[in-house]
Amino acid sequence: MYLVEFCGERRAPAGLETDADNVVEMVTVAGSHVPVMMSQVLDVLQPHDNGIYVDATFGGGGYARALLEAANCTVVAIDRDPQAIERGKSLLADYPDRLILVEGRFSQMKSLLEPLGIAQVDGVTFDVGVSSFQIDDAARGFSFQMDGPLDMRMEGVTSEGLSAADVVNGLDQKDLAALIYIFGEERQSRAIARAIVEARLEKPLKRTGELAKIISGVVHQKPGRKNLHPATRTFQALRIYVNGELDELAQGLTAAEAILRRGGHIAVVSFHSLEDRIVKRFLRQRCGKTPQGSRHMPQDTGSQNAPSFVEIKHKAQRPGDDEVDANPRARSARLRAAQRTSAAPWPDDAGAMVFPRYSVEGRALS
Ligand SMILES: C[S@@+](CC[C@H](N)C(=O)[O-])C[C@H]1O[C@@H](n2cnc3c(N)ncnc32)[C@H](O)[C@@H]1O
């Protein structure tokens, strides 16, 4: 039933090598979300009076609030999670004339802004992934540390689309292993997939606790090392897949390019190498620094396009030690930023930015 278009090799594609430090441990501050690299993001966006800024990932509203406090500007705050938008109403009460909350996906940024009469903006920021609110709510099914329904849909458990339970119970063993390997960068993916398939023969898996226990039973960890929870990578893989996160990111970046005015800034905070690779590739390409082609990533053909961005810093910025000490979630964060030129947006090539491609019948995903 499921068709997988997979790179076919059982080793990590170039640039996707497993790096335990890149996997976010689920350490959160209960009942809140501590914004990551916020001062660096503000430094990039340089909010000014009368400017219009898009916070593409509103979450707990930390970035949006900081922008609103920094200048007499307007912030359009987008989130696909209805609960985040609902929570944002308290911030809206503080800034009724300058904050606009929009429920939707940032890939649709352009069409979400159209009804507001906004065609161009001065800055766009992304802080991708999940918020502490989402992880800490067992009923959302993102956590392997708290038992809950195996769901993981950012739009909520009643939304359309496959849940994590649909994926673990529906994919055949080979596809499940490929998914866990690619999106979780999990070397023990085959053993995990085998264990899942054996367990679901008895009854379908419905709870995060059940899945975490099955994974913990088969994942070998090196003694004497500070190991991640055995289920970390598999849960990451399922979350990315269920929410189409890599395609969303690639499409969000091209949407930001389309709406940023000349001199406007983009700031993207990402948390693992799969995301950062897309951001890096997009910005390098749009800055006219086409990456070298490779067997896994063919040479770009877009060199005839004038650069639509200029680099602010060549390398990704990382959080300082103080921030990481205070907020362990910041540990794997990377910020990439650029400034928009007056050149036309490049032809929409979001699909080419996501690698490897992986699709399940009826639903193309990154
Ligand atoms: C890490 S949190 C953002 C935290 C925020 N910067 C703050 O300071 O509180 C990420 C948020 O982005 C949202 N999100 C993730 N992917 C999205 C997408 N494609 N479109 C819209 N929102 C998305 C999630 O629902 C989550 O609320």
Nearest CA-CA partner of 238 in 160, 159, 148, 151: 151
Question: What is the pTM for the complete model shown?
Answer: 0.88
Q: What is the pLDDT of residues 178-214, one digit of tens each?
A: 999 999 999 999 999 999 999 999 999 999 999 999 9
Half-sphere exposure at residue 220, Cβ-oriented, CA atoms within 13 angstroms? 5
Ligand 1 center from residue 12 Cα (angstroms): 28
Q: Which fold has domain 38-132+245-364?
A: Rossmann fold (3.40.50)
Q: What is the pLDDT of residue 292?
A: 46
Task: State the Cα–Cα distance between residues 30 and 199, nearest whole angstrom.
Answer: 32
Calpha distance 78→94 (Å, rounded): 17
pLDDT digits (tens, 9 = 90+) for 72-107: 999 999 999 999 999 999 999 999 999 999 999 999
Tell me 141's DSSP state: S
Question: What is the 176 CA–ligand 1 centroid distance (Å)?
Answer: 26
DSSP reduced 3-state for 361:
coil
Q: Dihedral sign, CA of 23, 88, 258, 242?
A: positive
How far, in Å, from the CA of 169 to the mean position of ligand 1?
27
pLDDT at 7 over 80: no
**Quick one: CA torsion of 106, 338, 315, 322, rounded to 10 degrees?**
-70
Question: So what's the pLDDT on residue 356?
Answer: 52
Q: Is 35 in the pocket of ligand 1 (CB under 6 A)?
A: yes
The Cα-based distances of 170 to 145, 189, 323, 365 in angstroms read: 24, 16, 41, 16
Decide if 79 contacts 63 (C-beta within 8 A): no
CA–CA dist 69, 66 (Å, integer): 5
* Helix axes of 173-184 and 189-202: crossing angle, nearest 10 degrees: 140
CB 141 within 8 A of CB 148: yes
**pLDDT band at 108; cut points 50, 70, 90:** very high
Q: Where are the domains of the chain?
A: 38-132+245-364, 144-242
For residue 228, give the nearest of 15, 13, 27 by alpha carbon.
27
Q: Please identify, by atom number, the ligand 1 atom nearest to the C-alpha of residue 133.
A: 27
Question: Of all atoms in ligand 1, which is nearest to the CA of residue 33?
Answer: 9
* CA 31 to ligand 1 center in whole angstroms: 16
Check whether the bond before 356 is cis (ω within 30° of 0).
Answer: yes
Q: Is 330 in the pocket of ligand 1 (CB under 6 A)?
A: no
pLDDT of residue 256: 98
- Beta strands 52-55; 121-127: pairing state: parallel
Per-residue pLDDT tens digits for 16-64: 333 333 333 333 444 678 999 999 999 999 999 999 999 999 999 999 9
Show Cβ contacts of residue 183 under 8 Å, excluding neighbours closer than 6 positions.
Answer: 236, 237, 238, 240, 241, 246, 274, 358
Q: Given a cut of 90, is residue 8 above it in pLDDT?
A: no
| For ligand 1, atom 25: residue with the closest CA | 81
Q: Which numeric CATH code is attached to 144-242?
A: 1.10.150.170
DSSP for 57-122 reads --TTSHHHHHHHHHSS-EEEEEES-HHHHHHTHHHHHH-TTTEEEEES-GGGHHHHHGGGT---EE
pLDDT value of position 24: 39
Residues ≥6 apart with Cβ < 8 Å to 357: 5, 351, 364, 366
Token output for 95: 């800034």
Give the number of other CB atoms < 10 A from CB of residue 3: 10
What Cα–Cα distance (Å) separates residue 209 from each residue in 1, 164, 206, 241? 27, 13, 9, 19
Q: Which of 6-15, 233-242, 267-276, 319-328 has the lowest mean pLDDT?
A: 6-15
